[in-house]
Amino acid sequence: MTVAARTSGTLGSEARPTGWAPGPVTDLFVHEGPLLLRHLGAPADLASHRARSGPLPTPDLPALVTLLSDAAVRGRGGAGFPLVRKLTTAARGRRRAVVVVNAAEGEPDSGKDSALLRTTPHLVLDGAAVLARALGAREVHVVTGIDRADTTRSARAALAERDDRRLRWSHRAAAARFVSGQARAVVELLEGRDGLPVTAWEPAAVRGLHGRPTLLSNAETFAHVAVLVREGPGAYASLGTADEPGTTLLTVSGRLPTAGTPTDDRVRVDSDPGPQARVIEVAHGTPFSHLLHPAELAGPVLLGGFHGTWVEGHVLADLPVSAAGLRRRGLTLGAGVVLPLGARACPVRATAAVTAYLAGESAGRCGPCVNGLPALADAIRCLADGEDTRPRLHELCGVLPGRGACAHPDGTTRVVRTLLAHLGRHVHAHLSGRCSCASACGGAG
């Protein structure tokens, strides 16, 4: 990693090449933030981290439960589950708990966990140590994506420096697949099997790694814990809103396909997103108009990444960053991936490309993925080619969710469903040959 300036840093290219299927986001710009990313550019080694951050408080379980409840800390991997519920559930187990830091980032356009592990890895590991000590856990496992070589290298270097008493740290690399970051897939990987999702009858906090209570959360979640215990709830809540104190990380990336479909050699993917691809730390409640450039809000935005929701940029502009508030509007922040399409690109063709990619990324085990997602990808490709398949798409979006072992079918149909529900005028324009892609790639037909 090279750090370009005091207030921002560039993460150079990771190993996987770009294209459809897309590799992890490249040339990511990381901006300095108020809490998690405030020491950007400072040395990341343990001695330097301790010198600037001070000693790490280690609250006992009741004190930590109070802190996490007051600060309403939620997991930042997409589901937004309250961390305190995972903690108290894992603490009730009869067997010794384990802690898992999930930085697999199977979503190619997510870069926030890589940004943390490459610029301030010990903040993430401090949070894991705090939770492990409160639980009496002796093991902490860290998982990164195998295609994110620089992130993996940084995580392993940081783990080698840890000197926490009574804690054993380990690292595993997850395969470069979209579903590799799913919680059960991570548990599978750590148990020595293929890192693919499986049906689970109990949450990992009840029965996870080798049947033990497992506190598994996203890397960003652990960084928030470390900041919270050091700063205290007052300072943490000085940012954000009463319901959602503190900050969150977003990855803004402009790599949606702008024309064509994956089966179409006219596909164009912006493989050099330049300064548009960035990780930013924002206080909850900040309007999106303060975060995104006017050009990024001039067209549709896929909010929440490839399992996210389409929304018109001018609608998003007035909305605040709030997982709960966006959910009430039928939108999702997911793991904080924001994908502006731009005013001149076609969301129908972009959805066709994303759906085909996701259909190919399933574990191929459950009916909705084996049969349903290819059918969905086929129907949306036909729509992109000018055939009005909206009735078929509505039908598939109605039957596929809730039937897989994991939420991959739910997330994939969500993109298609919100294309039809939120971007109906674009779909109509596309079918009637008035879409921007008509000039870009010869029209819908």
Question: Which residues of this protein are in contact with ligand SF4, per CB under 6 A?
Answer: 179, 197, 362-366, 368-369, 404-406, 408-409
Determine phi and psi for 48, rounding to 5 degrees.
-65, -40
- In whole angstroms, what separates CA 53 from the centre of its chain? 27
Q: What is the closest distance, in whole angstroms, from the C-beta atom of residue 71 to ligand SF4 in the complex?
A: 32
CA distance 116 to 77: 14
CA distance 309 to 334: 9
Nearer to ligand SF4, 76 or 184 (CB): 184
Residues across the chain: 445
Q: What is the closest distance, in whole angstroms, from the C-beta atom of residue 44 to ligand SF4 in the complex?
A: 34
Give the residue carrying structure tokens 């856990």: 137
Residue number of the CB atom closest to ligand SF4: 404
Q: What is the closest distance, in whole angstroms, from the C-beta atom of residue 394 to ligand SF4 in the complex?
A: 21
| 238: number of Cβ within 10 Å | 13
- Residues paired with 140 in a beta bridge: 99, 169
Contact call for residues 125 and 88 (beta carbons, < 8 A) = no
Six-digit token string for 1: 């990693």
Nearer to ligand SF4, 244 or 361 (CB): 361
Nearer to ligand SF4, 179 or 277 (CB): 179
Q: Environment class of residue 304 by beta-carbon count within 10 Å: exposed (0-12), middle (13-18) or buried (19+)?
A: buried
- Which helix (H) or strand (E) segment is 171 a member of? strand 168-174
CA distance 122 to 161: 9
Nearer to ligand SF4, 313 or 409 (CB): 409
User: Pairing state of beta strands 278-283 and 247-252?
Assistant: antiparallel
Q: What is the closest distance, in whole angstroms, from the C-beta atom of residue 178 to ligand SF4 in the complex?
A: 8
For 181: left if phi > 0, alpha if psi spans -120 to 50, otherwise beta; the answer is alpha
Q: What is the closest distance, in whole angstroms, from the C-beta atom of residue 180 to ligand SF4 in the complex?
A: 10
Q: What is the closest distance, in whole angstroms, from the C-beta atom of residue 410 to ligand SF4 in the complex?
A: 9
Q: What is the closest distance, in whole angstroms, from the C-beta atom of residue 412 to ligand SF4 in the complex?
A: 9
- Residues paired with 29 in a beta bridge: 10, 278
Helices (H), 196-322: 219-236, 313-317
Nearer to ligand SF4, 36 or 400 (CB): 400
Nearer to ligand SF4, 197 or 254 (CB): 197
Measured at the CA of 65, the angle between CA 188 and CA 117, to 5 degrees, comes to 50
3-state DSSP assignment of residue 354: helix
Nearer to ligand SF4, 97 or 405 (CB): 405
Six-digit token string for 205: 């906090």
Q: What is the closest distance, in whole angstroms, from the C-beta atom of residue 200 to ligand SF4 in the complex?
A: 10
CA distance 418 to 399: 15
Alpha-carbon radius of gyration of the chain: 21
Q: What is the closest distance, in whole angstroms, from the C-beta atom of residue 376 to ligand SF4 in the complex?
A: 12
**Angle (deg, nearest 10), helices 219-236 and 112-119:** 80
Q: What is the closest distance, in whole angstroms, from the C-beta atom of residue 400 to ligand SF4 in the complex?
A: 9
Q: What is the closest distance, in whole angstroms, from the C-beta atom of residue 75 to ligand SF4 in the complex?
A: 19
Nearer to ligand SF4, 12 or 398 (CB): 398
Nearer to ligand SF4, 133 or 184 (CB): 184
Contact call for residues 170 and 132 (beta carbons, < 8 A) = no
